[in-house]
Amino acid sequence: MKSFSSIILLAVTLTLTCRADMGSIPFKKGVRIVEPNQDAIIAWNGKEQLLYLQTTLGASEETKILEVMPLPNKPSVEATDIAVFTRCKSLLPKVIVTDSGGASSFGGPPDDLPAAKVVERKMIGAHDIRTVELLDAERFAAWVTAEFGVAKEGLEVPAPLLEVIGEYARDGYKWFLFDLVDVKQEAAKKTPLRIRFETDKLYYPMRITRTEKGQTTVSLSILTTVLFNKEDCIGIPREDIGVPARPIEITGAKVNWIDPPLFALLGRPQEVQLRTWEISGEIDSFQKDLLIRNPASAKKEAEQAGAGQPATRPESKTEGEVKPQPEEEGRSQ
C-alpha cells in the first residue's frame, strides 16, 4: 500500500491586482503593477511538489519589480513550455454551482556570519531569479534590505513586506525565491517557470500578499488520486474554500499529455479526479497559507495515537461516499 497521496492542482487562475503566490514591489514609487492573467499548476506526491507559474505582467510605467516566494525547502527552477497551461486548461470541468451551503525560531549564528546566502542565481527569460537560503531569521529582514535596497539594487523595500518575510522565517521557512523582473507598460507574458521542491504538505503561499490591497479570487482546479477530509486543511480552513464545480474523472494518460514530469511525479496513475476550489477575500487579510496534509499519514497518526482506546466518534466522511461531502460541496458561490 502506498504511504502517501498523489495530488495535483491545475490551472490556478487569479483575478487580482497583485501576485497571490508572491509578494511584489515596484522599484518606482507610485507605479501600479497590472497582472491581467496568472496560471499555476501544482503537483504533489506527498513528498515533493512541482509548481508551474505563468504570468502576464504590465505596469503604469516602465519599471523593475521584485517578487518574493517563501518555500519549505530548497527549490530547483527551470523554464517550461507555455503549451503545458493550454493543455491543462482544455481538461478543466465546467463550473456548476452547487446548491448546498455551509459555510522555531532559529538559533542565531554569530553576527559575523551572513543572515542568508544566495545559493543560485539564474536568468530565465525576463526572470533574474535568486534562490536564497535563510541562516538567521532575526537578521533576515536586514539582509533583504541590504541585498535589494537602494544602495545595491535601488529598491526601497517596504516595512510590511519585511514583516511578512520575517513571519515566514520565524515559522521555519528557510528557502526563498527572489525574482527581479523588468516590466513594460504593455502587458507581456513572462517565460513560464517549473519549480520543484520537497514538502510533506501541499502548499500554496497566500500570506505573502498581505502587503497589497484589493479583492482577490484564487481558483484552483485540483486533480487527485485520493480524497481529503475536512481536517486535512490545516492552513486556510475548509470553510473558507469554495467549491463551484463537481469533479470529473480523467485518465493518467491525459495527465501525461499535459506534461510528462507531472505524470511521473504522481506515480503514473491510471485515473484521477479533477475538481475546482476557490479562495476569495481581501488580499491583505490572509493570515494562513493553503496547506493540505497527507490524509494517509494523518490517518496512520490517529490510529497510532488511539491504539488500544475505544473509538469515541466515527471517522470524518470524505467526498467519495454516496452523499456528497465537504470537499466537493463546500460553500455555494
Q: Write out pLDDT tens, residues 12-63.
A: 444 333 445 566 666 766 666 665 456 778 888 889 998 988 877 666 677 7
State in Å, rounded, how far the first CA of the chain is from the last one: 37
The Cα–Cα gap between 328 and 229 comes to 10
**What global pTM score does this model have?**
0.75
* Res 308: pLDDT: 55
Q: What percent of the chain has pLDDT over 90?
A: 23
Q: What cell was used for 124?
A: 530565465
Q: Write out pLDDT tens, residues 71-122.
A: 999 999 999 998 988 888 888 766 554 444 433 333 444 556 889 999 999 9
Cβ burial, residue 15 (10 Å; 0-12/13-18/19+): middle
* C-alpha dist (Å) from residue 232 to 78, 91, 238, 296: 30, 26, 8, 10
Q: Write out pLDDT tens, residues 152-202.
A: 676 777 788 888 888 998 899 999 999 988 776 555 677 889 999 999 999
